[in-house]
Amino acid sequence: MIPKIDVFRCDACGDCVKACPPQIIGLIKKKAAILIDLCEECGICAEVCKTGAIHFRLPNKGVEERAATYVTPREATPNPGRWTVGVPLGYDGEGHSR
């Protein structure tokens, strides 16, 4: 997953810069910035961020939009006359057997 920085939450404390193992996070105009192509996606930056400005997002590659799922229609009120509770109806549907 790719880390993303919310610049409105970032307070430029520098904790993510110090904690990043490959040292690819820096401060630009008092906001954190990440070189995404070199990121190892370890998640340490998000763990040390006190303001919650760094979070992970899934890549959008290969995602297709799907149609709405099919929902089976249900009756508004159940019909108790149609319920069968463990009683076989028989060959004629009335409980009679041959």
What CATH number does the domain containing 8 carry? 3.30.70.20
Contact 58, 1 (CB under 8 A): yes
Helices (H) and strands (E) in the chain, counts: 2, 4
- Residue 9 within a domain: yes
pTM of the full structure: 0.55
Top pLDDT among 74 and 22 is at 22
- Residue 10 within a domain: yes
The count of domains in the chain is 1
3-class state of residue 55 by DSSP: strand
- CA distances to 7, 35, 52, 75 from 2, rounded to whole Å, are 16, 11, 15, 46
Residue 26's beta-bridge partner residues?
A: 33
What pLDDT, on a 0 to 100 scale, did the predictor assign at position 59?
Answer: 60
Residue 37 has pLDDT above 60, yes or no: yes
| Tens digits of residue pLDDT in 44-97 | 999 999 999 998 876 666 555 555 555 555 555 555 555 555 555 555 556 555
- Residue 71 within a domain: no
Q: Which domain holds residue 36?
A: 2-57
- Residue 84 within a domain: no
Residue 72's beta-bridge partner residues?
A: none
- Residue 65 within a domain: no
